[in-house]
Structure 1
């Protein structure tokens, strides 16, 4: 688990180092705002294309193979960016780059779920997910600091080096055994994508992740351009650093607390944090407001994402974890992808501020849906989402 954490830390630092510079790099290559959105959401296209296959690979061939695939892609992709300024080629590379998170995050989450005792599942998932905020704190600050000093090309090589370090640590990770499904034919239905996302256990978590992905897609693509357009005197990487600090703090306590009071309350609060953060960005007139929005967004992500993984783990069997994760968490990928065509084209009419207002409305809708539909009826949903009732869809803890 130590090697998992070290490898995960460098993996997220590798990816996050590009966040402050890549949208501007694409725009400087001659792309319009709309084309920047298309290229950046190519990452989500890769996620959508590859995550289901990775989920299947994880369940049938083991967790470590997918883990290493994701890291290798993360190390190669920055070098490919350095080779071209063609918008078409950058889109293709961005799609390929999406394979990295599709493989790594699904396999990493599945490994942690395999190791976590049921009674401490939220706590261990929360602790092991700390690699994300730490890496997201180091990466953007590093990228934002180095870029003015060494330029695009050298920064891409630095990012690749972080990926190589992640690969070396992850080679030392020992995979858990592949878990076979029950032998009885009646207990072995084929898990199609539609079967997973349409099932009562997984439909609302998938929709929730879709909504948060849409908000995050707007944030990741258009925040650097918003800061540049409004002439805010700040390193945009500091927004992500503030988010990572807040995410770190909340993950330390929320996972353990969710084991005691239930997952629903923390998911509800996480959604509300996302909504407030988007409203603050819409209204921002100074740098402190933007940084405060980053902190609140980090609180939301620190509660919502790991506890949603714990919730999904509570509701699925061990031999189907890879496929269920790939589809339910894939809702987040779809949301990022949809941020471009559904929201990004409106930038010319409503501006970047207007995009954040739209993202706030989306997360408000997700909050209402989760509070009213997360369990078997309205009454149970209200109790579960406010921490007053148990999860009726959770399977027996074994």
Structure 2
């Protein structure tokens, strides 16, 4: 577990180092607001195209193979930013870079869910996904410091080295294959059949809406701060958000096991909405600090708890695929957010762009309150922590998929979802 945690921390530090610096790099190369949005959003193209296939590969072969793919791309892609300096070249490279997250996050979440016992799955997943929060706190601070005090060349080399170190930590991880018994039913349903199921549809839809907001924020915060001439370090925004996410996960992780998943998903959606509305009215340092705190808290509650909800709603032999298909909603949101946000910013300005993002996340609150379970009443009860998840599997996953000591499958595939 510690080796896996270290691999995740290095991976996210590599990704985070470019969040606050790449938009400025693209602008320095002569890119317009819309071109910045398109290049940044191209990251999600790799996610959208490859995540479903990588999820299926994680189920059919092993989680480790997909982890290796993700870490390898994270080590290679940053070197290309020094070579491909045209907008079309950067779009293609950014799309390739997106494969790293498609692979690494899908396999990482599936592997941790496999190992974690069902009774404290929220706690284990919450602590193991601290890698994202911590890496996204360290990465932007490292990236901004290098960009301001050294050069873009050193920045890109550093992010590549972090990706390489992540790969070196992945290699010693035990290669737990999913047995034929566990994988024989995998792929029996088409993608659209899976999306028709409310156990997948509502998580994917709320992830889409949050992806739109997060993609808008990640792409345009550096340029927004610069445009209104506020003396606030954009790297600090990401660092505050990541620290807030880290802190919130300590409360969310064990809390979702004791209180229920739904209340934390709802609180996360509300936090995202308040963060966007603060940016809508932002004109001073305090507004950005509070928005960063709320955005981080939203990620620490919504994203980490939704991982657990997806794990609860999936069988081991399909878990990689279900994770991939739910999270692809988040990817699609990020893909749309860049060019769409750039167009909106050109027409109505950055402030109103974030106001629209806040309206989208608020619609996510309404959707989850009303559609998260089989009936309206059950949905409301689940969403406020007063009821169970109708779509969670009850009689399966009472033990981890792999015995941590013996390294072989110990979980049967029998079990029926709660009616």
- The interval holding the TM-score normalised by the smaller chain is over 0.9
Deviations 1:15-44 (A, max 9, x none): 100111101111221221111111111001
Residue 56 of structure 1: how far off its partner (Å): 1.0
Q: Hey, what's the Cα distance between the residues in 1 that align with 2:213 and 2:134? A: 21
Q: Hey, what's the Cα distance between the residues in 2 that align with 1:210 and 1:101? A: 16
Report the CA distance shift for 1:183/1:92 in structure 2 as closer, same or farther (over 3 A): closer
Kindly indicate whether the alpha-carbon contact (under 8 Å) linking 2:41 and 2:339 is maintained by their aligned counterparts in 1: no
Do residues 323 (structure 1) and 321 (structure 2) align? yes
Residue 280 of structure 1: how far off its partner (Å): 0.7
Match of 2:188 in 1: 190
Q: Hey, what's the Cα distance between the residues in 2 that align with 1:98 and 1:183? A: 27
Kindly indicate whether the alpha-carbon contact (under 8 Å) linking 1:79 and 1:157 is maintained by their aligned counterparts in 2: yes
Kindly indicate whether the alpha-carbon contact (under 8 Å) linking 1:29 and 1:85 is maintained by their aligned counterparts in 2: yes
Report the CA distance shift for 1:182/1:167 in structure 2 as closer, same or farther (over 3 A): closer
Match of 1:214 in 2: 212
Residue 191 of structure 1: how far off its partner (Å): 2.6
**4+ runs deviating over 4 angstroms:** 181-184
Aligned pairs for 1:55-74 (under 5 A) are: 55-74=55-74
**Partner SS, residue 77 of structure 2:** helix
Report the CA distance shift for 1:188/1:124 in structure 2 as closer, same or farther (over 3 A): closer
Q: Hey, what's the Cα distance between the residues in 2 that align with 1:11 and 1:340? A: 23
Residue 352 of structure 1: how far off its partner (Å): 0.8
Match of 1:46 in 2: 46
Aligned pairs for 1:118-267 (under 5 A) are: 118-181=118-181, 190-267=188-265
**Partner SS, residue 82 of structure 1:** coil
Residue 300 of structure 1: how far off its partner (Å): 0.6
Q: Hey, what's the Cα distance between the residues in 2 that align with 1:181 and 1:290? A: 51
Match of 2:297 among 292, 296, 299: 299
- Structure 2-normalised TM-score? 0.92
Deviations 1:246-300 (A, max 9, x none): 1111111212111111111000000000000001111111112201110111001
Q: Hey, what's the Cα distance between the residues in 1 that align with 2:81 and 2:115? A: 37
- Structure 1-normalised TM-score? 0.97
Kindly indicate whether the alpha-carbon contact (under 8 Å) linking 1:75 and 1:162 is maintained by their aligned counterparts in 2: yes
Q: Hey, what's the Cα distance between the residues in 1 that align with 2:233 and 2:169? A: 31
Q: RMSD across aligned C-alpha pairs, in angstroms? A: 1.3
Match of 1:82 in 2: 82
Report the CA distance shift for 1:158/1:199 in structure 2 as closer, same or farther (over 3 A): same
Q: Which moved more, 1:359-368 or 1:158-167?
A: 158-167
Residue 195 of structure 1: how far off its partner (Å): 1.6
Match of 1:25 in 2: 25
Report the CA distance shift for 1:181/1:104 in structure 2 as closer, same or farther (over 3 A): same
Q: Hey, what's the Cα distance between the residues in 1 that align with 2:186 and 2:279? A: 48
Match of 1:339 in 2: 337
Q: Hey, what's the Cα distance between the residues in 1 that align with 2:183 and 2:252? A: 37
Residue 84 of structure 1: how far off its partner (Å): 2.5
Residue 180 of structure 1: how far off its partner (Å): 3.2
| Structure with higher helix content | 1
Kindly indicate whether the alpha-carbon contact (under 8 Å) linking 2:271 and 2:294 is maintained by their aligned counterparts in 1: yes
Residue 189 of structure 1: how far off its partner (Å): 6.6
The answer for unaligned runs of 5 or more in structure 2 is 398-419
Kindly indicate whether the alpha-carbon contact (under 8 Å) linking 2:70 and 2:100 is maintained by their aligned counterparts in 1: yes
Kindly indicate whether the alpha-carbon contact (under 8 Å) linking 1:144 and 1:237 is maintained by their aligned counterparts in 2: yes
Residue 182 of structure 1: how far off its partner (Å): 5.9
How many residue pairs end up in the alignment?
396
